[in-house]
Structure 1
Amino acid sequence: MAVAAAHADVKARRPGINQLGLWLFFASESFLFSALATARFVIAGTDRPDELNQALGLAITSVLLLSSLTAYLAECAIARDDRPAFLRNLLATIMLGLLFVAGVVVEWSTAEFHLSEPYGSAFFSMTGVHASHVVSGMAMLALVYWLGLRGHFSAKGYWGVEATIKYWHFVDVVWVFFYPALYLVSW
């Protein structure tokens, strides 16, 4: 009986522990992204190449921000047990993530600056690390989608959805800071 009571107590505290673990993970990731953003200015100063593709930078930023909306809509849908809307919005989020990564690849392949240059080193490092996090986010979203197709998650239990969507929003917020540091700042 005591074992069952202890198990029930741990189960009751699990959501709080999961939340704490997720936020500690975000804090540790923030150090990585902050170091990259700081290194951009230490290495390249406030210089920015004139030939940087501003239109593409704005386009991929818009795509990523839109993906945050579809991710939010997916989470809201599962919270009200609307599985079709959940799956539809989750798939839209994955597709927008793919579009963002494709835009980054185009930016890399058409960039008129090089990795050996100070700005190029900062640009490719920041966008590369960020894109790798977008890809890992898409992998998690795909797993949640696959599980959702099989009936997992409901309004009574969707921590996996919530954690994945929070990660997606975190990666999007990082880009909100990276975008001006890479594309807009120039004195």
Structure 2
Amino acid sequence: MALATAHQPVAHAPAHNQLAIKRAGLWLFFFSETILFGLLLSARFYLEGIHREELDQLLGLGITIVLLLSSVTAYTAETAIEHDNKKVGSWYLFFTILLGLLFAGGVAFEWSTAHFHRYESFGSVFFTMTGIHATHVVTGVVMLILVWIQALRGRYSSKNPWAVSAVVMYWHFVDVVWVFYYPALYLTK
């Protein structure tokens, strides 16, 4: 009997360990994604000698501003929820979702109006880089929607913010990737 009680974990240890494991897993995911996005960025510069097609600079700047603004709204949502301001947090999650959809729509519009083909050197790099990034943005929007629905139900608070924090970290990661992609695709020749 004494042996059985000696090996029982402390009540708070499993939850703490679980959170640490989740955080470590998220950072390992970010590391692996950094390799993917870094290789695509390297491909762009490896093929720098190719002629870069003209891109819609205003659209590129516009979608970049939208994505950066979405990082601000995501941060505001996370901070509000961490301070138990659930209503403000829910609203800013909603604004982040709208901005993410606007960004994805801008990318889709640019694809539909591109004056180059995906089988050309620059086209293949451009469509691959923006396509994989847009897929990550749409994935982020889906995760934000799921978190937003739960936030509307009052699930998250200062004592339980992990899902919101994880999705916002993912969102910031996707935004940081675009900070590198935007100049590589739109500003360099």
TM-score normalised to structure 1 length: 0.94
CA deviations 1:104-151 (Å, max 9, x no partner) are 011000111111111111000000000000000000000000111111
8 Å CA contact 1:72, 1:165 repeated in 2: yes
Alignment partner for residue 19 of structure 1, among 16, 23, 26?
Answer: 23
Determine which structure has more spread, i.e. the larger CA radius of gyration: 2
Matched, 1:124 2:127: yes
- The correspondence of residues 1-187 of structure 1 with structure 2, limited to 5 A, is 1-2=5-6, 4-5=8-9, 8-45=12-49, 47-49=51-53, 51-186=54-189
Aligned positions, number: 185
Aligned partner letter, 1:71: A
Q: CA RMSD in A?
A: 1.4
CA deviations 1:142-181 (Å, max 9, x no partner) are 0000111111010111100000000000000000000000
Work out the CA distance in 2 between the residues paired with 1:142 and 1:27. 24
Work out the CA distance in 2 between the residues paired with 1:90 and 1:45. 42
Task: Report deviation, 1:90.
Answer: 0.2
Task: Report deviation, 1:9.
Answer: 2.3
- Name the SS of the counterpart of 2:24 in structure 1: helix
Aligned partner letter, 1:94: I
Q: Among the aligned pairs, what percent are the same residue?
A: 54
- In structure 1, stretches of 5+ residues that fail to align are none
Aligned partner letter, 1:101: A
Work out the CA distance in 1 between the residues paired with 2:81 and 2:114. 41
8 Å CA contact 2:50, 2:121 repeated in 1: no
Work out the CA distance in 1 between the residues paired with 2:157 and 2:118. 47
8 Å CA contact 2:76, 2:92 repeated in 1: yes
